[in-house]
Structure 1
Amino acid sequence: MATDAAARWERVAALARAPGTCDLGQGWPDVGESAIAIDAARRAMTDGTTRGNQYAPPRGRSELTEALVEYYARTGYDVRNGSGDDGTSSVVVTASATEALYGAFQGALRASAERDEIVFVEPFFPWYKAIADDLGGKSVVVRARASDGFAIDVEAVRAACEGGKTALLVMCSPHNPTGHCATRDELEGIATVARELDLTVLSDEVYERAVFEGGEHVRLATIGDMRERCVTLGSASKLLNLTGWRVGWAIGPPRLIDQINSAHSLMSYAAPTPFQIGVAAALNEISASATGRVTADANAEAMHSNARTLGRALEDAGLQVFYPKGGYFLTCDVSSTGLTDARFCERLAEKARVACVPMSVFFLDAPDVPRSLVRFAVCKKPSTVDESSRRIRANAPYP
């Protein structure tokens, strides 16, 4: 994040830590942790037979790499080539999806001296720019606009990548922070651009089971020939609501996965062993009932209900709400208050004791950055969202 954006984020985070504040700022879930994963990890730490408290292989424990191959196969993306390959060379387990992200960026930027640009949709997960900066890359953004429902502008993506400088195109669906879920048409458009411009694409799909209203998550790697040029990211943090475990993964062509594994082995070496075993057990349980595609889970239903509850309260307070199609977050426009996004977040925390995040921290610094959008996390207990909604109504208006 840029310095001023980081300072704004820290101010809001400090307000969220105040006693009695309902924290709808940071996207950590306070409900829905996988009991199966927790129980399996506990057994791994205490049964004395699995080396559960010792190093795992850098690429991942076999229980988890095999479970990942099976999970993706059972949900529509099989990386096995049918000639005896078990698919595990197409997977690496990392200490968080953020570490996998770093490895993918590093591999892409080192692959060619002429290609130093990382292209992604704006607003964006702040670590995209932070990692690109750390590695000496240049961030190039394609603006998604609230007035268009934060849809992906495929032609703008093409224009951003046509100069021959793109090391990596990054897509995210369901999208953080807007909650937009890429449509099949959008994904097919991105696949066409990637093929015609010979791009490597990283598809950040950590929120894949958090899709609302019967929507379908379509993996970019399953479109056309994208499996040969696409790395897909996943995470126990979001798939299983276990953000503190720091277990993530990447799946894709071995030539790209090997680059991530090289970086990962020099950073953390291995993700925590008992947590890997726990995640494997939870994935196997999901795979057992999979029907060939990614389906929403019970947590998604709860978050969708939270988004509707919170959205109605914000509308009652006179704000414009952009209801998400998936993910952990809801966005609204506070321009009716006459306040900037940062000042509104401060005012809401002070007056209603509800914390949210100014969306300007998810944009590159520029004169035309929207200063009226704010983000709320809906990955919380319904009681937390209900109380937040009550406070928002009771303390409106917010000029």
Structure 2
Amino acid sequence: MPDISTKAKSFGESVIRAMTRVANKYGAINLSQGFPDFDPPAELLDAAAAAAKNGPHQYAVTWGAQNFREALAEKQSHFMGVPIDPDTNIVVTCGSTEAMMAAMLTAIEPGDKVIVFSPFYENYLADAILSGAEPICVPLKAPDFSFDEKELEAAFAQGAKALILCNPSNPTGKVFRKDELEFIAKLADRYDTFVITDEVYEHIVYKPNTHIYFASLPDMFDRTISVSSLSKTYSITGWRLGYAIGSARVIEGMRKVHDFLTVGAAAPLQAAAVTALSFPDSYYESLGKLYQGKRDLFLKYLDKAGLSYVRPEGAYYVLVDVSEFGAKGDFAFCEWMARDVGVAAVPGQSFFKETIENFVRFHFAKKDETLKAAGERLLSIKEKWASRTGRAKTAR
């Protein structure tokens, strides 16, 4: 029988989604895969109910329903500070996952090099393989996850065609500073490189940090493909409504790639989501405060449990250092934690190109009562680990 492709054999399944299955297997509180356990805004649910009853029920325009693109263009023009034409600068996709893949297939030729910061969201390396690109990983160094300017320029100098920038960052929670973004922009201009941004956490940023859209920097709009989605902002990860924003020439090509990948995003959900895209600025301010409260609540439990972590500046993840356990932050440790402690996390190894064995990732996009329950369970993690290994609890 014929063999499957080399591409399909060259990467594994999603570790994040696998940990959800582990959480379900052991009845653990799922702080691994990043989705909320609370409802979207009531106005959005009402709009979805109306769309389910009244339609539209057939295909929308392949690259996004007109009213959805118009509402999205108005909202993003406001926040990004650049004019966005709904007819030439937007393609609507089946989640930001597809938007990133379509962006890669549009910008990249097989054999091109793509710069990826490490740690990274796990999809990026798979996207590089599927698009035939060679990834060049540049480390972000804890505790602030800054990059070395010389290392980054050396990566550009290898002839990279694009750089992938996740900001705010999954899994680190880093929000890139203006000077960092300006340095990347300088290199992108010098070496004539695309920058493909993943900005799905654009509205989940903790003061005093601020999110700066890369496309809003001087002369960067034409070389930036801005990828995002409605999933995190409106707590609708299952709706799979993503998009990309870019120059007309890029979006023209990307629309063709998207058409043959998925044809189009769900028409009734686009119709319903127009309601959310019209929310006032106060919604986004409240969203940031909501998640800042959840972050602070969960970090208090980590402090009480005596666990070390990197304080997130944005997004809704926290990397916890488990090196004091004498265990690797790998799948086996996370499976033990799900089974014996009752809390599921993601092994840190799945986010790093280099050998990093001391982190696991939790997310805190949960109801306060869920976070409290998980926090209470984590208070016993050292005792349970010591009992398992027969060693005394590690002193902090």
TM-score using structure 2 length: 0.89
SS state of the match for residue 75, structure 1?
A: helix
Aligned pairs for 1:173-184 within 5 A = 173-184=167-178
1:357 matched residue in structure 2: 346
Shift in Å, 1:281: 1.5
CA–CA separation in structure 1 for the residues paired with 2:18 and 2:257:
33
1:221 paired with 2:215, answer yes
Q: Deviations over 1:316-372 (max 9, x none)?
A: 3332111100102011111111111024322321221011111101123xxx51101
Letter in 2 for 1:229: R
Q: Deviations over 1:128-165 (max 9, x none)?
A: 11111112211111111223x1124443222111122x
My pick for the range that moved more, 54-63 or 345-354, is: 345-354
CA–CA separation in structure 2 for the residues paired with 1:347 and 1:19:
10
Q: Is the 8 A contact 1:329 1:378 kept in 2?
A: yes
2:368 matched residue in structure 1: 382
Residue from 115, 121, 125 that aligns with 1:125: 121
1:372 paired with 2:367, answer no
1:101 paired with 2:100, answer yes
SS state of the match for residue 244, structure 1?
A: helix
CA–CA separation in structure 2 for the residues paired with 1:246 and 1:37:
15
Shift in Å, 1:273: 0.5
Shift in Å, 1:30: 1.3
Q: Is the 8 A contact 2:164 2:196 kept in 1?
A: yes
1:345 matched residue in structure 2: 334
Aligned pairs for 1:322-337 within 5 A = 322-337=310-325
1:309 matched residue in structure 2: 297
1:151 paired with 2:158, answer no
Count matched residues.
Answer: 377
CA–CA separation in structure 2 for the residues paired with 1:250 and 1:94:
8
2:231 matched residue in structure 1: 237
CA–CA separation in structure 2 for the residues paired with 1:361 and 1:218:
27
Shift in Å, 1:16: 0.7
CA–CA separation in structure 2 for the residues paired with 1:68 and 1:132:
28
1:138 paired with 2:146, answer no
Q: Is the 8 A contact 1:121 1:141 kept in 2?
A: yes
Letter in 1 for 2:89: S
CA–CA separation in structure 2 for the residues paired with 1:344 and 1:5:
19
**In 2 relative to 1, CA 371–43 (structure 1 residues): closer, same or farther, beyond 3 Å?**
same
Q: Is the 8 A contact 2:16 2:33 kept in 1?
A: no
**In 2 relative to 1, CA 3–299 (structure 1 residues): closer, same or farther, beyond 3 Å?**
farther
1:83 matched residue in structure 2: none
**In 2 relative to 1, CA 328–3 (structure 1 residues): closer, same or farther, beyond 3 Å?**
farther
**In 2 relative to 1, CA 27–9 (structure 1 residues): closer, same or farther, beyond 3 Å?**
closer
CA–CA separation in structure 2 for the residues paired with 1:314 and 1:3:
36
Q: Is the 8 A contact 1:211 1:296 kept in 2?
A: no
Q: Deviations over 1:238-287 (max 9, x none)?
A: 1211011111001110111122211110011110001111222111124x
Q: Which runs of 5+ in 2 are unaligned?
A: 1-7, 387-396
2:265 matched residue in structure 1: 271
**In 2 relative to 1, CA 377–200 (structure 1 residues): closer, same or farther, beyond 3 Å?**
same
2:380 matched residue in structure 1: 394
**In 2 relative to 1, CA 53–309 (structure 1 residues): closer, same or farther, beyond 3 Å?**
same
Q: What's the % identity of the aligned pairs?
A: 31
CA–CA separation in structure 1 for the residues paired with 2:9 and 2:319:
21
Q: Is the 8 A contact 1:104 1:259 kept in 2?
A: no
CA–CA separation in structure 2 for the residues paired with 1:92 and 1:226:
19
The alignment yields a C-alpha RMSD, in angstroms, of: 2.2
* Ranges of 4+ aligned residues in structure 1 off by more than 6 Å: 1-5
Q: Deviations over 1:4-27 (max 9, x none)?
A: 864865764333113531110101
SS state of the match for residue 197, structure 2?
A: strand
1:60 paired with 2:64, answer yes
Q: Deviations over 1:116-138 (max 9, x none)?
A: 11111111111111111112211
Q: Is the 8 A contact 1:79 1:90 kept in 2?
A: no
Letter in 2 for 1:318: G
1:41 paired with 2:48, answer yes
1:163 paired with 2:158, answer yes
Letter in 1 for 2:113: E
CA–CA separation in structure 1 for the residues paired with 2:17 and 2:235:
24
TM-score using structure 1 length: 0.88
**In 2 relative to 1, CA 3–200 (structure 1 residues): closer, same or farther, beyond 3 Å?**
closer
1:77 matched residue in structure 2: 81
Aligned pairs for 1:169-208 within 5 A = 169-208=163-202
